[in-house]
Structure 1
Amino acid sequence: MDFSQDIILESNRALLRPLATADFEGLQAVAFEPELWQYTLTRADDRISLAAYIAAAMQGREQHQRYPFLIIDKDTDRVAGSTSYYNINLHEARLSIGYTWIGSEFQRTGLNRAVKYLLFRHAFEVLGCERVELETDAHNHKSQEAMRRMGATEEGTLRSHRYTQGGRRRDTVIFSVIKPEWNVLRQGAFREFDTRESA
């Protein structure tokens, strides 16, 4: 994976482009909702923490550990949030999707599923991944249900997995999609975003 490349992913509903420092102003309109950050590892619900969040994301890209994207909702042509690839190990043909947050007004509109479609498609069809992982706090039932609805398989819970806000040790629920499942999912859960003929 070439971290210096500007990856642009687009469907009829969503546009993902590399996150940039200049996106600070646009993200302010959707980031400053405390409830968005209840189960995240860090927060970005004020100017200082949002600036730190973007800086950490950019540093992760420079260090080839994370590839952060800005999410644009094409229905409104507005910035809606951010997401990333991380835990990228293309020698083992796997990566994770995470650091995903979307402003409350864009939730339950299909945008999150449109974003995941683009990320899964690029991972499986361009990067050659065999496995894509997603993880969430065991307390974040909303996120877990969204992963199930899009067809990801729940694999289990990693107990006392990592530190989160306030130094709490969180249990992490792991989901995955593997390459043999992708063709079925793109014609099922992601059908409205897939413009190709069925195989």
Structure 2
Amino acid sequence: MSMPLLENERVKLSLLDLSNYLNLKNIAKEKKLIYYSPSDILTTEKLRSYVELAVNGYYHKTIIPFIIYDKKMKSYAGSTRFGNIDHKNRVLHIGWTWIGKKFQGTGLNTNMKFLMLQHAFETMGFEKVEFRIDERNSKSRRAVEKIGAKLEGTLRKNILMVDGYRRNTCCYGILKSEWPTIKKRLVQSL
């Protein structure tokens, strides 16, 4: 599995690994940044463990983790990844996305998702992209709905959160057959 470099005039997504993750340590410390995630990245040690897990998945061909560089603000902004990569069934997830508060609502996320969807469908040849989002995270749910993902159902109490809460997870999907229409709309909005 070759490491893609996904880039447009707004954002550059390159491999997140142990050589560059410290560029994210200040963003990772932002309060409530990943409140709806079962992960914990608040300390440098916990961030390193998070990255080590992603790198391990990369070598096992189940994860492609990205570090996000915002070209407009000339700054690292956060992280995202392809995960749960199922090569046999041609399905993967886009998620584990967190960007610093100053980058939120700037169009950065839409640019990232466009590049990732384009790569998943057009380069990797996948048939479906899924998103799994905490039911309480209305901001992220609206964002994937705006892109064109369809709610397919809710998994009840399936993820244990850091604070002991068991969350319900909303499952969204985009099919390869839906991509041309979604792509056209996204290109116009970018």
Q: What band does the TM-score fall into relative to the shorter chain?
A: over 0.9
Deviates more, 1:141-150 or 1:160-169: 160-169
The yes-or-no answer on 1:121 pairing with 2:118 is yes
Distance in 2, Cα, partners of 1:78 & 1:50: 18
Deviations 1:52-92 (A, max 9, x none): 11111111212222110111111122110111111111221
Which residue does 2:106 correspond to in 1?
109
Q: Is the 8 A contact 1:150 1:190 kept in 2?
A: no
Deviations 1:119-174 (A, max 9, x none): 10000001111110001111111111111111111111111222221333211001
Q: Spell out structure 1 runs of 4+ moving beyond 6 A.
A: none
Matches within 5 A, 1:65-76: 65-76=62-73
Counterpart residue identity of residue 118, structure 1: L
Which residue does 2:46 correspond to in 1?
49
Distance in 2, Cα, partners of 1:177 & 1:190: 16
Shift of 1:188: 0.7
Q: Is the 8 A contact 1:96 1:133 kept in 2?
A: yes
Matches within 5 A, 1:71-86: 71-86=68-83
Which residue does 1:143 correspond to in 2?
140
- 3-state secondary structure, aligned to 2:48: helix
Unaligned stretches of 5+ residues in structure 2: none
Q: 1:97 aligns with which of 83, 94, 99?
A: 94
Distance in 2, Cα, partners of 1:62 & 1:166: 30
Q: Is the 8 A contact 1:151 1:189 kept in 2?
A: no
- 3-state secondary structure, aligned to 1:65: coil
Aligned Cα RMSD in Å?
1.3
Q: Is the 8 A contact 2:62 2:86 kept in 1?
A: no
Counterpart residue identity of residue 169, structure 1: R
Q: Is the 8 A contact 1:149 1:189 kept in 2?
A: no
Q: 1:184 aligns with which of 164, 181, 184?
A: 181
- What is the TM-score normalised by the length of structure 2? 0.94
Equivalent residue pairs, number:
190
Unaligned stretches of 5+ residues in structure 1: 194-199
Q: 1:60 aligns with which of 50, 57, 60?
A: 57
Distance in 2, Cα, partners of 1:14 & 1:176: 23
Percent identity between the two aligned chains: 35
Distance in 2, Cα, partners of 1:41 & 1:157: 17
Which residue does 1:152 correspond to in 2?
149
- 3-state secondary structure, aligned to 1:59: helix
Distance in 2, Cα, partners of 1:6 & 1:77: 22
The yes-or-no answer on 1:133 pairing with 2:126 is no
- What is the TM-score normalised by the length of structure 1? 0.90
